[in-house]
């Protein structure tokens, strides 16, 4: 397989070269050579996306799914086994199956990992609602990369994407929920960059709702110092089960507009919250199933 000149290197620069070289979700070459593991320690979520259905099972291969929930110590045990059995594993991430930052177990797990394996690249996936208040703590725990899911800038669009937001012990809905979430996402992105972390934006492309928001998100992302963007095609589920996913042409056009402002990562496999292996290898899904059968009993 051949690769074009990678714009990520040019725009991110040598400051983060060590991280980008070894992270399969930030570098196309690493995607086919570097292993990662997702530790499913975060079941709770503080927002409800209309496209999201969290699930505990062993058969679906998508975000929001894991075979069970691990305790921090179980997660460390699983990591130790994976390090012995998984080729070139350099990245450990927490991506749910709920919201990473809404679960204390996320921080307990990161602490255990940082104490025992400080050289592993630690990353977090988040909706951004709590990122501003947690960015400093993440940096202290050695987190190098953060992925924030941003699906809209306009609150009228955002209220179509999110059913509710749980904030300050209240359930918010409608425009108020949308505005609070959007404001906090960008405050969190700014805080993560201030804490010297690599930031990637994930945007779920919902053609009937946010197709025209993607370029605007990329532009604002550039202005906030975001390093990379990843467009994720809608998987029709939950309240959006009747909506269609984007066509290849719609994804291509959206990327071409967005990459005027941010480099685009184009190899995302929409992994489970307990994925393990090298993403770009076909054997990855087989490995996930093998790990499920050996280590999970949910």
Encode the chain (298 residues) as per-residue pLDDT tens digits: 333 344 444 555 555 556 655 555 555 555 555 677 889 999 999 999 998 876 666 766 766 666 678 999 999 999 999 888 877 788 898 888 889 999 999 999 999 999 999 999 999 999 999 999 999 999 999 999 999 999 999 999 999 999 999 999 999 999 999 999 999 999 999 999 999 999 999 999 999 999 999 999 999 999 999 999 999 999 888 788 889 999 999 999 999 999 999 999 876 666 676 777 656 564 444 344 433 333 222 2
Beta strand 143-149 with 198-205: parallel, antiparallel or unpaired? parallel
Judge contact between 58 and 292, C-beta under 8 A.
yes
User: Per DSSP, what are the bridge partners of residue 293?
Assistant: none
Domains of the chain: 7-295 (3.20.20.70)
Distance CA 7, CA 51 (A): 31
Say whether 57 sits in a helix, a strand or coil.
coil
Q: Which two tokens stand for residue 116?
A: 């025992």
pTM confidence score: 0.84
CB 197 within 8 A of CB 225: no
Query: d(Cα 82, Cα 276) in Å, to the nearest integer?
Result: 8
Q: Provide the 8-state DSSP code for 98.
A: S
Q: Within 10 A of 97 (CB to CB), how many other CB atoms are there?
A: 26
162, β-bridge pairs: 49
């Amino acid at each position: 397989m051949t690769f074009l000149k990678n714009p990520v290197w040019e725009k991110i620069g040598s400051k983060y070269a060590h991280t980008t070289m070894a992270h399969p979700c930030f570098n196309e070459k690493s995607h086919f050579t570097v292993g990662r593991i997702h530790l499913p320690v975060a079941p709770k979520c503080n927002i409800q996306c209309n496209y999201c259905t969290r699930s505990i099972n062993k058969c679906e291969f998508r975000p929001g799914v894991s075979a069970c929930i691990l305790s921090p110590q179980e997660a460390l045990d699983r990591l130790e086994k994976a390090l012995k059995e998984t080729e070139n594993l350099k990245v450990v991430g927490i991506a749910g199956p709920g919201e990473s930052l809404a679960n204390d177990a996320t921080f307990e797990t990161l602490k255990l990992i940082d104490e025992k394996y400080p050289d592993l690249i630690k990353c977090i996936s988040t909706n951004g609602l709590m990122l501003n208040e947690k960015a400093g703590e993440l940096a202290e725990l050695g987190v190098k990369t953060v992925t924030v899911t941003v699906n809209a800038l306009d609150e009228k669009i955002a209220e179509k994407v999110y059913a509710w937001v749980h904030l300050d012990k209240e359930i918010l809905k409608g425009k108020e929920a949308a505005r609070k979430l959007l404001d906090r996402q960008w405050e969190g992105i700014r805080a993560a960059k201030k804490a010297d972390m690599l930031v990637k934006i994930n945007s779920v492309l919902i053609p009937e709702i946010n197709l025209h928001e993607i370029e605007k998100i990329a532009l604002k992302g550039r202005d906030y110092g975001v390093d990379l963007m990843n467009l994720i095609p809608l998987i029709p589920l939950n309240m959006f089960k009747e909506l269609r996913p984007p066509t290849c042409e719609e994804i291509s056009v959206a990327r071409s507009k967005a990459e005027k402002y941010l480099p685009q990562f184009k190899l995302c496999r929409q992994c489970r919250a307990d994925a393990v292996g090298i993403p770009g290898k076909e054997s990855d899904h087989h490995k996930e199933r093998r790990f499920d059968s050996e280590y999970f009993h949910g």
